Amino acid sequence: MLPLSKVQDLISKHSKLEKELSSQEIDKKSFAEKSKEYSDLNDIIKEAISYFNYQKNKKELENLINDNDTDKEMKDLAKSELDQLEKNNDSNEKKIKLFLLPKDEADTKNAMIEIRAGTGGLEASLFASDLFKMYEKVSHKKKWLLEVISISKSDAGGLKEVIASIKGKNIYSSLKYESGVHRVQRVPDTETQGRVHTSAATVAVMPEAEEVDVKIEDKDLRIDVFRSSGPGGQSVNTTDSAVRITHIPTGIVVSQQDEKSQIRNKEKGLKILRSRIYELERQKRDEERSKDRKSKIGSGDRSERIRTYNFPQGRVTDHRINLTLHKLSEFMEGEIFDEMIENLVIQAQESELNNI
């Protein structure tokens, strides 16, 4: 049972913020911060008040039911109200517990997504391309803005690697459970015997870090320029426009050569570097807080096999929550992506709630 003192704190905080925001003495910075806090509390205040008054309202209804002077019609009505009150109370308790769970500060951020072909040769690169197309379709349906930062193509339309930025509302919270190994089982076009092959691609989703999130000192960087080796025409291949950035304290290396401009490549490279450093720091903090982090949903472990896409049987299975959807073609079109994510979020929340 949720301690009433915690619920009282929520109600008191809401009331206090309401008074502060209506006063004329609050400065602009405080107003913005407290408006956000007040808005968040508004999402739960109705449930908090109802939960806090539950015992009082329950006792009043029970007294009415047990009162010999109460007629049958009134007793039946009170019994019905009591039944609904108890159901609402259970629902309210869960909502409040979810609200009180520690917030991931990165949930509201945009995201950087990196997809790389894994084991399986050409078929793995084709699958990496299919995954990227799926995220493109999801982004389009949700009106997110997807921008390719770096791309390396393979033969037959596959992808060795692609890095993209996805912008919108609460992007990281929607995509953070995608990190890990995605496995595909299907018959390649080149397979003459009709045998099913298994290959894989890795997906890494990181919060897109702003300059205020990660301070990178020039003295901590080693920047090398070199001639681009990929396709892009003469102006790309005949100038030292490619950039390799090494962050000396962490050893993280980012290479960028998609643009003709060295300056633009450096900007893109720093964008990727900033997000990787931010994610590294987040992982360190999380591991300090929880030694069993890798057993949790959304650990971000790139070596963890999280999902299998079985084309012959038309199903997609998420191994973390043992959920199988027999709608693989719709999933790859981005049609039922939300159904998978919602189940992952619910399972993760249930796991957190059990620890309260």
Quick one: DSSP state of residue 2? -
Alpha-carbon span 236 to 97, nearest angstrom: 55
Domain residue limits, the chain: 4-100, 111-212+293-353, 218-288
Residues 6+ apart with CB under 8 A from 348: 177, 296, 297, 298
CA 11 to chain centre: 29
CATH class of 218-288: alpha beta
Residues 6+ apart with CB under 8 A from 309: 127, 182, 183, 184, 185, 186, 316, 328, 331, 332
Alpha-carbon span 183 to 181, nearest angstrom: 6
113 touches 205 (CB < 8 A): yes
Strands (E), 212-304: 221-226, 242-247, 252-256
Q: Hey, what CATH topology would domain 111-212+293-353 get? A: Alpha-Beta Plaits (3.30.70)
pTM > 0.75: yes or no: no
Quick one: DSSP state of residue 296? S
CA atoms within 13 A on the CB side of 68: 0
Tens of pLDDT, residue by residue, the chain (356 residues)? 788 999 999 999 999 999 989 887 888 878 888 998 899 899 899 999 999 999 999 999 999 999 988 889 999 999 999 999 999 999 999 889 888 877 778 888 999 999 999 988 899 999 999 999 999 999 999 999 999 999 999 988 899 999 999 999 889 998 999 999 999 999 987 776 888 999 999 999 999 988 878 889 999 999 998 887 654 444 445 567 889 999 999 999 999 988 888 899 999 999 999 999 998 988 887 776 555 444 455 544 556 799 999 999 999 999 999 999 999 999 999 999 999 998 998 888 887 777 65
